[in-house]
A and B are shown apart, each in its own frame.
Chain A
Amino acid sequence: EVQLVESGGGLVQPGGSLRLSCEASGFTLSDYYMDWVRQAPGKGLEWVARSRDKTKSYSTDYAASVKGRFTISRDNSKNSLFLQMDSLKTEDSAVYYCSRGTSRDYWGQGTLVTVSS
């Protein structure tokens, strides 16, 4: 059974950092593109970052709103995906989801990040 479980969310002050994790099970992470998608309270879905699969050398892309501040990475040996978030802003407050593949066929339950002083 495919499962994605996010963790690492919490309350952080503006300018601070947070590292989100997404533990994958039921499939081999290295075989898949993986995305982070976020949803601010009461708002729609926003794509954040992509990590491609091994055939694409795990290349990455970022939304303009997070480029230079967020870093997506993975540890395939631990079947885990990460999102390092630095220089956080209040507008980064959202539920963060990890999802599998270009079609995003599986999603985690999400982890809440709140950026506030």
Chain B
Amino acid sequence: QSVLTQSPSASGTPGQRVTISCSGSSSNIGSHSVNWYQQVPGTAPKLLIYNNNERPSGVPDRFSGSKSGTSASLAINRLQSEDEADYYCAVWDDSLKGLFGGGTKLTVL
């Protein structure tokens, strides 16, 4: 069981807004920046959001991140079929180790 808690699944229809949450503690999310990754099965993860809410170049502005206290969220606006993938939050912990959430499988209905 992951120290960072994510819902195992989420779903939405094209055009909808979906949010994925990530819950941690004061030693990780409460103290460090959160990153989000998108992984299409069979491929390497791709950085989606870094430093809580920054988007790398090339990532559509439909994707946004936020953090409050010991929780973080990834929002996907105007959902598209190609957004169907697994999403992971990640953060460093004060115990000097990296953490990943358990992952959320997003289904576009």
Nearest chain B CB to A115's CB is how many angstroms away?
21
Size class of the A contact interface (CB-based, 8 Å): 20 to 34
> In the complex, what distance in Å separates the CA atom of A37 from the CA atom of B44?
11
Q: Would A103 and B47 count as touching, CB distance under 8 A?
A: yes
Q: Would B2 and A44 count as touching, CB distance under 8 A?
A: yes
Q: Is A102 an interface residue (CB 8 A)?
A: yes
- Collect the chain B residues with CB atoms within 8 Å of residue A63's CB: 97-98
Q: Would B37 and A110 count as touching, CB distance under 8 A?
A: no
Q: Is B99 an interface residue (CB 8 A)?
A: yes
Pick out which of these stretches binds chain A: B15-23, B76-84, B88-96. B88-96
Instruction: Name the interface residues of A37-66: CB closer than 8 Å to any CB of B.
Output: 37, 44-47, 50, 61-64
Nearest chain A CB to B62's CB is how many angstroms away?
19
> In the complex, what distance in Å separates the CA atom of A37 from the CA atom of B47?
14
Across the two chains, which residue of chain A brings its CB closest to B103? Answer: A44
Q: Is B63 an interface residue (CB 8 A)?
A: no
Instruction: Name the interface residues of B15-63: CB closer than 8 Å to any CB of A.
Output: 33, 35, 37, 39, 44-47, 50-51, 56
> In the complex, what distance in Å separates the CA atom of A45 from the CA atom of B86?
10
A contact residues vs B (CB 8 Å cutoff): 35, 37, 44-47, 50, 61-64, 97, 102-110
